Chains A and B, each alone.
Chain A
Amino acid sequence: MNGLINRALDWFVRDTFGEALRRGLVEALSLGEAAFEPLMPCAPDVTERLLAALAERVGRAPEEVLEDLGTYLVSQPRTEAVRRLLRFGGVDFIDFLHSLEDLPDRARLAMPDFALSEIRLHPEMPGLYRIEVGACPLAGVALGPVLVGMLRAMADDYGALVLIGSRGADARCEVIEVRLLDAAFAHGRAFDLGAGPVVR
């Protein structure tokens, strides 16, 4: 599955920072094209090195880069397939939040070796949710920050007005807080259930 994560990072870098930076990274790390094959096995440390080198080059913390990656995956046309697959999770943003606990199972259904961390949703009070993301079994990438970026973009997608932020992490899990201000703030983007898969 690291090949898939590397591919996501690869597209993110290319679309966000440009081809030159992307080429520089790949050359500096001596990565072959095989490192970016979603269906090919790849050592987790490649992802780790890729992320560290990227963060350094763009002068940001790795967590910030991962947040942007999460938003990118949901909001960019090139990764429309990700948005569509996530939208199957719920008919509205709240329904979607409740489907997050199924996300690792859904990911595994799509790709058997796709091992996401466990996700737990705790409704704290009306409109306030605490999400615990298990410490990542994958070396190199913390799921928490990616999820923060994804949730922000998915809220936009559903037309919900939310405040989302990380509430820190310990050895066991990362905690994300979601404050739902208005579930039907805007129209959101259309989701046509039967549109079929996106062909790039």
Chain B
Amino acid sequence: MTAVAALDAMLARLCPMFALVGPTGHVLAVGPTLARVLAPREGIGARFLELFEVLRPQSVETMAGLAALEGARLRLRSRTGASHVLKGVVCRLPEDGSLGPVGGVVLNLSFGISVVEAVRDYALTGADFAATDPTTEMLYLLEAKSVAMEESRRLNHRLEGARQAAQEQALTDPLTGLRNRRAFDLALARFRDANQPFALLHVDLDHFKQVNDTHGHAAGDLVLRVAARRMLAVVRVDDVIARVGGDEFVLLFPGMEDAADLDLVARRLISAIEEPVSDGTRCHRVSASIGGTLGRMRAGDDAEAIMAVADRALYAAKEAGRGRFVIATAPPVAFPAAARNDGQGAAMRSR
């Protein structure tokens, strides 16, 4: 075997995408993988620069120009087929002619980052890459990570669903940070089960709808947040304050049995809420109507019955004009389930 043939055989194994180019610029030999890339064109015999366009470091028109790029990092584009951009490096053959025609060059090419498309377009297999080439490992890793990413995406999707469900189950009103309806119901049930006396206020903002309709939801949300903060400043630490509707709040005062105390709190709440709310450019004014009741529930009592009493008081307050507090004097002990419908305890005092 001649030295040249031996070189070809070694290159074919070590660099399956090599090209041996003679001094005239014609391809003398190509590695097996490069042959697949060039197919159906027969690479051998063609001029290398007709098969590939050199893009970087500069375009090249002649064989001398190609040889002058020895050692540089080349970027080339295939002029045939799928026109992939390849990476390459060129080496001049020795001047003594021992490894091939003097003035010839050896090029080694690779797909670089476009390898994924190239593998698909040329239907390459593991055997098309040199034994030391990490391309197969790269493809493995890419695929393994894609599988893991897809699994991660699915997990995130499931977790998001769970988060939304948990939020619905949660006890906080996200806008105001107050307790929500669910938390209020739980607190009321707790008082009932402990047979603990308490007072209850049902607060409804007056003129809130106008703020919302005229100045938009952002203004409305601001008013709700400020009202919540001001109400919190009026109540005690152990009192429960919840937002139960758009502009509706309920407050529970454990241990409060005196109507005068409740009256005082209600009037403080109204005046706190009536303070103007500034959004930096304008002032919004709202007020509050409040219905309240005092009582105590026993195990088995219907929690909704006491709410119904407070609701009626609130309705009366609204009827009496804005910014009013009405207390419904409830029966001394309990709110049995029937209380909801019979209109009892309706002796109301307007303040």
Task: Spell out A's residues near B (CB within 8 Å).
Answer: 37-40, 81, 84-85, 88-91, 95, 106, 109-111, 191-200
Complex: chain B residue closest to A86, CB-CB: B140
Would you list 25 pairs from A and B whose C-beta atoms are within 8 A, ordered by A residue? A38-B155, A39-B148, A81-B143, A81-B147, A84-B143, A88-B126, A88-B136, A88-B139, A88-B140, A88-B143, A90-B126, A106-B140, A110-B147, A111-B144, A111-B148, A192-B123, A193-B119, A193-B125, A193-B126, A193-B136, A194-B116, A194-B124, A196-B146, A197-B143, A199-B150
State A117–B141 Cα separation when bound (angstroms).
20
Q: Among residues 39 to 84 in chain B, which have CB atoms less than 8 Å away from a CB atom of chain A? A: none
Q: Among residues 327 to 351 in chain B, which have CB atoms less than 8 Å away from a CB atom of chain A? A: none
Which chain B residues lie closer than 8 Å to A199 at the CB level?
150
Q: Are A193 and B144 in contact (CB under 8 A)?
A: no
Dominant SS among interface residues on chain A:
loop
Measured CB to CB, the closest approach of chain B to A187, in angstroms, equals 14
B296-328: contact bitstring with A at CB < 8 Å (1 yes, 0 no)?
000000000000000000000000000000000
- Not counting A85-B140, A109-B141, A198-B147, a sample of 5 additional A-B residue pairs whose C-beta atoms are within 8 angstroms of each other reads A39-B152, A40-B155, A193-B126, A194-B139, A197-B146
Known: A193-B119, A196-B146. A39 touches B139 (CB 8 A): no
Known: A193-B125, A194-B123. A39 touches B155 (CB 8 A): yes
State A110–B148 Cα separation when bound (angstroms).
7
Q: Which of B116, B119, B126, B146 has the most CB of A within 10 A?
A: B126
Which chain B residues lie closer than 8 Å to A37 at the CB level?
155, 158
Measured CB to CB, the closest approach of chain A to B124, in angstroms, equals 6
Interface bracket on B: 20 to 34
State A106–B139 Cα separation when bound (angstroms).
12
State A194–B152 Cα separation when bound (angstroms).
23
Q: Are A197 and B147 in contact (CB under 8 A)?
A: yes
Which chain B residues lie closer than 8 Å to A39 at the CB level?
148, 151-152, 155
State A109–B140 Cα separation when bound (angstroms).
10
Q: Are B139 and A193 in contact (CB under 8 A)?
A: yes
Indicate whether B207 reaches chain A with its CB closer than 8 angstroms: no
B107-142: contact bitstring with A at CB < 8 Å (1 yes, 0 no)?
000000000111111011111000000001101110
Which chain B residues lie closer than 8 Å to A200 at the CB level?
150
Complex: chain B residue closest to A87, CB-CB: B126
Which chain A residues lie closer than 8 Å to B121 at the CB level?
194
State A198–B137 Cα separation when bound (angstroms).
17
Which chain A residues lie closer than 8 Å to B126 at the CB level?
88, 90-91, 95, 193
B146-182: contact bitstring with A at CB < 8 Å (1 yes, 0 no)?
1110111001001000000000000000000000000
Measured CB to CB, the closest approach of chain B to A36, in angstroms, equals 11
Which chain A residues lie closer than 8 Å to B137 at the CB level?
88
Known: A39-B151, A39-B155, A88-B136. A193 touches B141 (CB 8 A): no
Known: A91-B125, A194-B116, A194-B123. A85 touches B155 (CB 8 A): no
Q: Which of A37, A40, A191, A193 has the most CB of B within 10 A?
A: A193
Complex: chain A residue closest to B142, CB-CB: A197
The 3 closest A-B CB pairs, nearest first, are A194-B120, A110-B144, A194-B119
Measured CB to CB, the closest approach of chain B to A184, in angstroms, equals 14
